[in-house]
Amino acid sequence: MGKILLGISSSIAIYKACELVRELKKTGHEVKVVMTPFSERFISRLTFHTLSGNKAYVDWEDDPLLHINLPRWSDLFLIAPCSINTLSKIAMGIGDNLLTTCALSHKGLLMLAPAGNVEMYKNPVAQEHLQKLKERGVIIVEPEEGKLVCEEEGQGKLASIKRLLDWVEWGLRPKPLKGYRVLITAGATREFIDKVRFISNLSTGLMGLSLARVLRWYGAEVKVIAGYTSVEEPPEVEIHKVVSAQDMYQKVLELFDWAHMVIMNSAVSDYKPASFYEGKLKKQESLTLHLVKNPDILSELGKIKKDKILVGFALEEEERLLQEGLRKLKEKNLDLLVANPLQMMGSEEYRAVLLFKDNTKEELYASSKLLGAELLVKKLLEKLLKLPLQSLPRA
């Protein structure tokens, strides 16, 4: 877990910073807060002291070298909310308070999450300052659009807590996958019988979407093709929504050449109704459905994969897990088959057997699918991409 220095400048959005500190602590991070003097008119330093468990700082009353020592302590410096005033001062190298002086002395990763009136944010001078900061390697977590406190509509809302937390996790990890493109399928497909009824399964999409989050954290460019999902989508990831297995097959083929690695995590329906009823079928004593096979997307990709890395998932009963997993690994020409026992469908925790093309296997256990996704990504780095793990943090 990381040491997060959280900077807070004056904005009505400061109330969201209280929740941000709580969520960072809940995730296991240590947090120290540094505030601008004017921000105390919104919320006192005592509030952040209480929430973080560490003293919140506004000035140099305890340590004349605080502007040096706080940045050196941190793994990541995030200023949220960052007012347009504070953003412009940092861009111009002005250090007139403890927060801006910390920003000038900070040598690590600096993230700014602006918040302000849409006209102020879109002002050409503010945009010039934003561009300067980006060119210097500062990460700008763009504000969101919506109704602002001034009753105007537009871009200026502080990024959501979910996005800020995701950017923190991104910032704390190395980027061995920078420049690497990964295509992931997730969720359940639906095969419609009539306008209201369909054949599907219990997949929530949680594992596939967790993999998308983690792969982005490690630097990959990620695109997701998602069927039906019932969990939150990962921020900052491009998602293409599809419905049926045929829809997914066509979209996978469309994006296949773009990817270096393809991870087929979706729960694709094996069969679809042979015909579709235009309307709603009336209730009958019995109904016989004639089903036909859907394309086996993973098998088709195995035939054209060439030098791409292809990862598949299989859900099997416990007693047939290894036997069926090894068969599918070979028949579908995969580099890795992730074999999940039946109990994992819809479960929060994660358990799998990883079957590699080199005939090795490893068991994977995790208390959550997000943690399981990170452990799996590390195995992909180590076993398939042969990238060093020495600099990777412990999940």
User: Exposure string (b/e) for 208-242, b if CB count within 10 Å is 16 or more?
Assistant: bbbbbbbbbbbbbbbbbbbbbbeeebbbebebbeb
CB 6 within 8 A of CB 33: yes
Q: If we measure between CA atoms, which residue out of 222, 215, 225 comes closest to residue 188?
A: 225
339 close to 352: Cβ distance less than 8 angstroms: yes
In the structure encoding, which two tokens stand for residue 380, read together? 């992909």
Q: Are 155 and 122 in contact (CB under 8 A)?
A: yes
Residues 6+ apart with CB under 8 A from 250: none
H/E run at residue 19: helix 14-26
User: What is the predicted pLDDT for the residue at 216?
Assistant: 97
Evaluate the CA torsion angle 155, 160, 163, 166 in order and state its sign.
Answer: positive
Given this model, what pLDDT does residue 284 score? Answer: 87
Which residue segments constitute the domains of the chain, with CATH numbers given? 3-171 (3.40.50.1950), 181-384 (3.40.50.10300)
Task: Compute the radius of gyration of the chain from its Cα atoms.
Answer: 25
Q: Which pLDDT belongs to residue 394? A: 41
- pLDDT tens-digit profile, the chain (395 residues): 899 999 999 998 999 999 999 999 999 999 999 999 999 999 999 999 999 999 999 999 889 999 999 999 999 999 999 999 999 999 999 999 999 999 999 999 999 999 988 888 889 999 999 999 999 999 999 998 766 665 667 677 899 999 999 999 999 999 999 999 999 999 999 999 999 999 999 899 999 999 999 999 999 999 999 999 999 999 999 999 999 999 999 999 999 999 999 999 999 999 999 999 899 988 888 989 999 999 999 999 999 999 999 999 999 998 999 999 999 999 999 999 999 998 877 677 899 999 999 999 999 999 999 999 999 999 999 999 887 654 444 44
**DSSP state for residue 188 in the 8-state scheme:** B
18 assigned to active site: no
Kindly report the backbone phi and psi dihedral angles of residue 306, in degrees, each rounded to the nearest multiple of 5, phi listed first: 55, -120
And the tokens for 15?
């109330």
**Token duo for residue 59:** 């000035």
Marked catalytic residue, from 18, 82, 102, 150? 150
DSSP state for residue 38 in the 8-state scheme: G
Q: Quick check: 149 and 138 in contact, CB under 8 A?
A: no
Enter the DSSP assignment of 383.
Answer: I
Contacts of 146 (CB under 8 A, 6+ apart): 153, 157
Closest by Cα among 77, 346, 73, 23 to 203: 346
Q: What pLDDT does 389 receive?
A: 52
